[in-house]
Amino acid sequence: MFRLSALLALILAPALPAADVVVYGGTSGGVAAAIQAARMGKSVVLIEPTDHVGGLTTGGLGYTDSGTKGVVGGISREFYQRVKKYYDDPKVWKYGDRSKYASYRKDEDAMWTFEPATAEMILRQMLDEAKVPVTFKERLDRGGKGVKLDGKAITSITTESGKSYDGKVFIDATYEGDLMAAAGVSFAVGREAVKQYGESLNGIARKWNQHTHRFLMKVDPYVKPGDPASGLLFGIDPKLGTDGEADQRLQAYCFRMCMSNVAENRVPFQKPEGYDEKMYELLLRNYEAGDKRLPLKLDMMPNGKTDTNNNFAVSTDFIGQNYKYPEASYAEREKIIHEHEVYQKGLMWTLANHPRVPQSIRDSMAVWGLPKDEFVTTGGWPHQIYVREARRMVGDYVHTEADCRRSRPTPMSVGMGSYNMDSHNCARYVTPEGFVQNEGDVQVSPGGPYQISYGSIVPKAAECPNLLVPVCVSSSHIAYGSIRMEPVFMVLGQSAATAAVFAIDDAVPVQKVAYEKLQKRMLADKQVLDYSRPANPQAVDATKLGGIVVDDDKAKATGEWTPSSSTAGFVGHGYLHDNNADKGKKTVRYTPKLEKAGKYEVFLHYSATSNRATNVPVVVNSADGEKTVKVDQRKAAEKGKSLGVFRFAAGEAGWVEVRTDGTDGHVIADAVRFVAKE
């Protein structure tokens, strides 16, 4: 039954004047968009579902993941410059010595680390200066009445309270993409298969998990150790598909906690209501297996505070518990967020107090607690969960790994990214050897800054003519892993607002905004649209080698290999090495696609140094059968080590495999080259 109170609320709701630009979502990208629209003389309203602006920038992520800072321009850089100006004042260093704080540089114009409350203070000041009206605690009505359309164009949006906001152009700057979805715009959730966009790092990704966020110890996955019939421990996925396949899994969420080591400003970690020790059994078993590290990444902020992030095998990432979040109802999302909060608070209490945790870890935790002067309305706990990805728009242009690597031209740049293609773990599974392992962690450098296309922030032309999406951009999962940085969201938010203004002025759909005009204004606003990056002096350009080159990112690896680029002479972005461990259990197979049958000389490429193996078995499978060649990888071979001339059939019947059996040092798997012989 329709409640009388609801009817009265609708009748009595104040009439809201139409705005030129309506920004839904007060994330850092939304704040930048609103400020830009106002600075360009348009009426604007910023609608934020919570009572804070800034999203993760003010929600604990004070250690800015920026990559190449030279590509951060416009309002985004202005924010970091204001952070620097704030910390130039010695009076604000209440609990710290500025001279000993490594991230503070007197001679730099910007500062990239900050306290959460400081970040929100600065963003609110910038909004006030631009005279941007901000409406707090208003959520889009997702019950079917939240978006009013005229054809495909949005004419107004309505919140749960019944307030309607008319506008000419709308910007969805939320992490979830709720307005985009409600407007009928296409989107994706989860990981695409590598074949969908011709990528190498997307999809299910066991083989790329070679960094620190995995189990180094052999940890039993079963409730009763050694007994599969007893069932799997909490958080282990019984059904993980094949590497490279698509799935609906998401990289894990967490809270970016701000902790304090100042006794007078900290509150000890408490056991949360709902604590369940079974959720931490993997953590405890990992300690008992011999991993004695503190599983937290502590990046220091001013005044004795941290930005605390996930680290190692079992940490703040609540792996596998967020899959339903992007499309869940508000109530379901709140439940998921609460579960994450209970888990992470319980983790901190466990590390500080549990008797199965090594005493050295408990001792190291004793100096830390939640700060009294941050997130004061939530007891020191961040107000924003880290939504690392949710929905991603699918536009006419989809940003992929090829754009990140700059292996294809990216049209109509509206900003740049440069951070690693970075996905946190998406699942836990049982290895063929019967131990638990994490899956989904990918950390591969794009090799420098890259452009982001205007086509990635506008919907398909047939879907909505007056919406821009600078946060849930049109991107593949793995490419979004690089784009999803707060400075980039601010850059794209500003560009989206500039485009919105021109769409209004020229009475055109956002897809038809004249790029030359947009580009001119972005450059005038000191945004960075291109960046000349020098070639990596350590790398060999595969295109200049001749023949058919199969690099390691196109090869099939078995076992746990570690990506690296530390020793010069590698082909492409880097190489793999076996970490001189688990000999005989690791291989990398290179399969060329040969257009013609015939004889080919085969070259093995690797970067040589003194810790390499002298007896690497390399198996060549050709039309004449298999042949094993031993290679001394301590001896340099600038143009590759010739393995001989072999006869191959056309297609993908032949292959070359680097093995580790009986080797006496680090085995390198970089690239294999096939050169046709007359």
pLDDT at 445: 84
Residue 568 covered by a domain: yes
248: pLDDT strictly greater than 90: yes
Spatial separation of the C-alpha atoms in residues 68 and 415, rounded to whole Å? 13
Structure tokens at 283: 């953590």
- Give residue-wise pLDDT tens across range 296-336: 999 999 999 999 999 999 999 999 999 999 999 999 999 99
> Is the sign of the CA dihedral 477, 480, 486, 490 positive or negative?
negative
Structural domain boundaries, residue 656: 539-677
36: confidence class by pLDDT, cuts 50, 70, 90: very high
Q: What's the burial of 468, exposed, middle or buried (CB within 10 Å: 0-12/13-18/19+)?
A: buried
What angle in degrees, to the nearest 10, is found between the helix axes of 486-506 and 28-39? 40
Residues with Cβ within 8 Å of 106's Cβ and at least 6 positions away in sequence, in order, are: none
Residue 575 covered by a domain: yes
pLDDT at 12: 42
pLDDT at 567: 84
Spatial separation of the C-alpha atoms in residues 64 and 490, rounded to whole Å? 12
pLDDT at 535: 56
Residue 587 covered by a domain: yes
> Is the sign of the CA dihedral 288, 292, 297, 302 positive or negative?
positive
497: pLDDT strictly greater than 80: yes
Expressed in angstroms, the distance from the first to the final Cα of the chain is: 84
Q: Quick one: which H or E segment has residue 646?
A: strand 641-648
Residue 620 covered by a domain: yes
- Give residue-wise pLDDT tens across range 111-120: 999 999 999 9
pTM: 0.81
Other residues' Cβ atoms within 10 Å of the Cβ of residue 588: 26
553: confidence class by pLDDT, cuts 50, 70, 90: confident
Residue 611 covered by a domain: yes
Q: What is the CATH number of the domain that holds 642?
A: 2.60.120.260
Backbone φ, ψ for residue 382 (5° rounding): -55, 145
pLDDT cut 90: percent of the chain above it: 84
Q: Could you tell me if 247 and 204 are in contact, meaning their C-beta atoms sit under 8 angstroms apart? A: yes
Spatial separation of the C-alpha atoms in residues 120 and 656, rounded to whole Å? 55
- Region 149-168: what's the mean pLDDT? 97
pLDDT at 533: 53
- Give residue-wise pLDDT tens across range 381-400: 999 999 999 999 999 999 99
Spatial separation of the C-alpha atoms in residues 433 and 442, rounded to whole Å? 22
Q: Could you tell me if 324 and 339 are in contact, meaning their C-beta atoms sit under 8 angstroms apart? A: no
pLDDT at 1: 31
Residues with Cβ within 8 Å of 259's Cβ and at least 6 positions away in sequence, in order, are: 266, 298, 305, 306, 308, 368, 369, 370, 371
Structure tokens at 171: 């910007």
- Region 155-167: what's the mean pLDDT? 97
Residues with Cβ within 8 Å of 11's Cβ and at least 6 positions away in sequence, in order, are: none
Spatial separation of the C-alpha atoms in residues 498 and 93, rounded to whole Å? 37
* pLDDT averaged over every residue in the chain: 94
Q: What's the burial of 223, exposed, middle or buried (CB within 10 Å: 0-12/13-18/19+)?
A: middle
Residue 256 covered by a domain: no
Residues with Cβ within 8 Å of 521's Cβ and at least 6 positions away in sequence, in order, are: 498, 502
Q: Which of 335, 336, 383, 378 is nearest to 57 (CA)?
A: 383
pLDDT at 541: 85
Q: For tokens 């379901």, what's the residue? A: 332
Among the residue ranges 16-20, 226-230, 280-284, 453-457, the one predicted with the least confidence is 16-20
Q: Could you tell me if 535 and 541 are in contact, meaning their C-beta atoms sit under 8 angstroms apart? A: yes
Structure tokens at 71: 């590509």
- Give residue-wise pLDDT tens across range 650-668: 999 999 999 999 999 999 9
Structure tokens at 566: 């530390």
Number of domains forming the structure of the chain: 1
Among the residue ranges 223-232, 450-459, 532-541, the one predicted with the least confidence is 532-541
Spatial separation of the C-alpha atoms in residues 491 and 421, rounded to whole Å? 18
For residue 674, give the amino acid letter: F
> Is the sign of the CA dihedral 504, 506, 507, 508 positive or negative?
negative
Residue 133 covered by a domain: no
- Region 391-415: what's the mean pLDDT? 95
pLDDT at 432: 95
DSSP 3-state of 402:
helix
Among the residue ranges 47-61, 197-211, 377-391, 400-414, the one predicted with the least confidence is 197-211
What does the chain come to in residues?
A: 678
Q: Could you tell me if 602 and 627 are in contact, meaning their C-beta atoms sit under 8 angstroms apart? A: no
Q: Could you tell me if 92 and 82 are in contact, meaning their C-beta atoms sit under 8 angstroms apart? A: no
Q: Could you tell me if 94 and 302 are in contact, meaning their C-beta atoms sit under 8 angstroms apart? A: no
Structure tokens at 502: 């021109």
Residue 353 covered by a domain: no
